[in-house]
Amino acid sequence: MARARQPFLRIARHELRILRAERTLRPVSAMLVVLLALALWNGISWVSNQKKTIESAFSEENARFKRARHEVVHPLKQNANVEARNDPRDPASFGATLGKRYAVLPPGPLERLSIGQSDLYPYYLAVSTRSRDTFVHNDEIENPLNLLAGRFDTAFVIVYLFPLVILGLSFNLLSGEREQGTMALLLSQPVALRSFAAGKIFSRAIVIVGLVVAVSVAGAIVAAPDAPASIAVRTILWCLTVAAYAAVWFALAVAVNASRMSSASNASALLAVWLLLVIIIPSSVTVAAQSLYPVPSRVQMIQAIRDASREASTHGSQLLGRYFEDHPELIPGGTSKAEIDNFNAQTYAVQEAVDRQVQPVLDRYDAQLLRQQSLVDRLKFLSPAIVTQEALNRIAGTDLGRYRYFIAQVDRFHRKWKDYFNTRSVQKVPMTVDAIDAVPSFAFAEQPFSRVLLDVAVGLAGLFVPAFVIALIASWRMRKYQPTS
C-alpha cells in the first residue's frame, strides 16, 4: 500500500512544481481568491444591511409602543374626543395601525456565503389585524434586473466560475503530455496511467478546492457569533458540497482527456459541457417550471380582493349576523342585537368574508409555487449546478423552504393577533398599559436541523454518485489509451 502511494504523491508534488514553474497556478489562484473575497464582502454587506433594517424596524416599533403606553395613561387632551384612528385606547386602531408588530426572519446561519432567495422575499412583515395580503405581498421596491441576475456571492462563484477554473487547469491533463511527447517516457516507468492522472488531479484539487474551502471557513467564522451551535456542522456540509461539486468537474476533465483528442478540442468540449450543465439546463428547467405551473398574476389577486370587498360591503349586516354565529364568544352577556351592531364588528365581518373569497387565489398561488419547486426537485439531478446551488442555499438558510416555514409561523401569529384585538374591539374593551404589555409578539423558530441534514445528504449523493460514475468511465477508457499521437 505504501509503495502504491509513493508514485501518486511523487507525481502530485512534481506536478505542483511544474505548475509553479509555468506560472499558471499563481495568477489563477490569485484571481479565484479575489473573486471569492469580493463575493464574501458582498454577502457580509448584505447581511449587515439586513440587520440594520431589522434593528430600525424594532426601534420604530418600540418607540410606537412607548408612545402608546404614555398616551393611554396621559391622553393628549383630557376628556376630549380624540380621532379614533389616532387613539391608542381604541383596540381596533391599535391592532390595525398604531400597534402593528414586526414578524422578522433573521438572516440564515451562513447567509454571508449564499444570499440565495433571501433577496426575493421580504424578511420582515408588519403584522396587523388587516388582511394577510396587505403585509405578506407588500414588497419593497427593488430593481427587477438585480432580482433577475441575482446577487454576487460566494455560492455564485462556486456554482458558475469555480468549474471554469477547474477546467482551465485540467483540460490538457493527458493531451498536453502526449502532444509534448513526454507521455510515452512517463509511462515507461512503473506508473499506471490512472495513478498518473490521479496525481495530476490531486495537485490541482488540493490548491483550488483548498482556497474555496479556506474562504468559506473564513466566512463561517464571521457568522459564528450569530449561531455558534449549528455553524460548525453547516460549514462541514458546505465544504463537502464544494468538494463533491469539484469532483464532478475533475472527473469530466479526466473523461474528456481520456478520449485522446487534442488539447484545443478538449477545451472546446469541456466549455460546451459547462454551458450545457451550468447555463442551458438550469435555464430550461426554470422556464419549464414557470410554463407548466404559472402562478396567478398580482393583478388577478388585486382584482379578486376588490371584487370580494365590494360584494361583502353590500351585505354587511348579513355578514355581521354570520360573524357572531361563528364567534358567539364575542357577544357580551345580556347585550341586545342593536347594541352589538357596531362599526368594528361589521368591519371584521366584512374582512373575514373577503379573506374567505380571496383565499382560493392565494392557495392557487402557493400550490403553483409548490408544483414548480417539485418539478425542479425532480429535474435538478440533470445538472450538478442546480444540485449544488440548492444544497448551498439549504445549508446557508436562504432557501424557499425556510421562507415558507417562516410564512407558516406568520400566519399562525396573524390569527392570534386578530383574535386578541377583535375580541377587545367587538366587546369594546379599551386598551390599557397592561393590555399593551400583553400584546402578542413574534419569535421565529428555525426548522428542525435533521430536515436540513436529510436534504443536503440527498444533494451530496446527487454529486458524488455522478462523479464516481464518470470517474469509472474515464478509468475504463484509459485502459485503451495510446500514449503517442
For a pLDDT cut of 90, what percent of the chain falls above it?
40
Most confident of 10-14, 104-108, 194-198: 104-108
Query: Is pLDDT of 314 > 80?
Result: no
pLDDT surpassing 50 at residue 166: yes
The pTM of the whole model exceeds 0.95: no
Burial (CB count <10 Å: 0-12, 13-18, 19+), residue 139: exposed
CA dihedral 311, 317, 321, 327 (to 10 degrees): 70
Cα separation, 309 vs 56, in Å, equals 34
Q: Which three cell numbers stand for residue 55?
A: 434593528
Q: Which three cell numbers stand for residue 48?
A: 449587515
Q: Are 89 and 69 in contact (CB under 8 A)?
A: no
Distance CA 161, CA 182 (A): 31
Phi, psi of 127 (to 5 degrees): -80, 135
Pairwise CA distance, residues 378 & 367, whole Å: 17
- Is the pLDDT at 42 greater than 60? The verdict is yes
Q: Decide if 387 contacts 350 (C-beta within 8 A).
A: no
User: Which SS3 state, helix, strand or coil, does residue 101 take?
Assistant: strand
* DSSP structure class, residue 328: G
Please give the full DSSP string across 25-40, using - where no structure is assigned: HHHHHHHHHHHHHHHH
Q: Are 319 and 290 in contact (CB under 8 A)?
A: no
Q: Is pLDDT of 278 > 90?
A: yes
| 192 φ/ψ angles, rounded to the nearest 5 degrees | -75, 150
Domain ranges of the chain: 2-290+385-478
Which of 54-58, 114-118, 141-145, 465-469 is predicted least confidently? 141-145
Neighbours of 122 (CB within 10 A): 19
Are 117 and 403 in contact by the 8 Å Cβ rule? The answer is yes
Q: In this model, does residue 4 exceed pLDDT 50?
A: no
- Is a pLDDT exceeding 80 seen at residue 14? no
Q: State the average pLDDT over residues 249-276.
A: 93
What whole-number distance in Å separates Cα of residue 8 and Cα of residue 194? Answer: 10
Rounded to 5°, the CA angle 298-300-304 comes to 120
pLDDT for the residue numbered 160: 95
- Residues 404-409 have a mean pLDDT of 92
Mean pLDDT of the chain: 81
Answer with the residue of higher pLDDT: 83 or 105: 105
| Structure-model confidence comparison of residues 458 and 220, the more confident one | 458
Q: Which of 145-149, 344-348, 453-457 has the lowest mean pLDDT?
A: 145-149
Mean pLDDT, rounded, for 170-192: 78
Q: For residue 59, is pLDDT > 90?
A: yes
Dihedral sign, CA of 58, 63, 67, 69?
Answer: positive
Residue 319's SS3 state is helix
The sign one gets for the Cα dihedral 162, 165, 168, 170 is negative
- Strand segments (E) across 320-476: none
Is the pLDDT assigned to residue 341 strictly greater than 80?
A: no
Residue 187 C-alpha cell reads as 509511462
Banded model confidence at residue 426, pLDDT cuts 50, 70, 90: confident
Q: Distance (Å, rounded) from C-alpha 98 to C-alpha 90?
A: 10
Would you state the cell numbers that stand for residue 452, as one nine-digit string?
Answer: 436540513
- DSSP β-bridge partners for residue 103: 125
Phi-psi domain of 121 (left: phi exceeds 0; alpha: psi -120 through 50; beta: other): beta
pLDDT of residue 339: 45
Provide the Cα torsion 319, 325, 326, 332; round to 10°: 110
Between CA 458 and CA 315 the distance in angstroms is 53
**DSSP conformation letters of 102-137:** EEE-PPPTTTTT--TTTTTS-SEEEE-SS-THHHHS
The rounded percent of the chain whose pLDDT value lies above 70 is 76
Q: Calculate the dihedral angle through the C-alpha atoms of 157, 466, 478, 203, rounding to the nearest 10 degrees.
A: 40
Residue 106, C-beta contacts closer than 8 angstroms, at least 6 positions apart: 54, 123, 226, 444
What b-and-e string marks burial along 142-152, b requiring 16 or more CB atoms within 10 Å of the CB?
eeeeeeeebbb
CB 241 within 8 A of CB 460: yes
Q: How confident is the model at residue 303 (pLDDT cuts 50, 70, 90)?
A: low
Average pLDDT over residues 260-282: 93
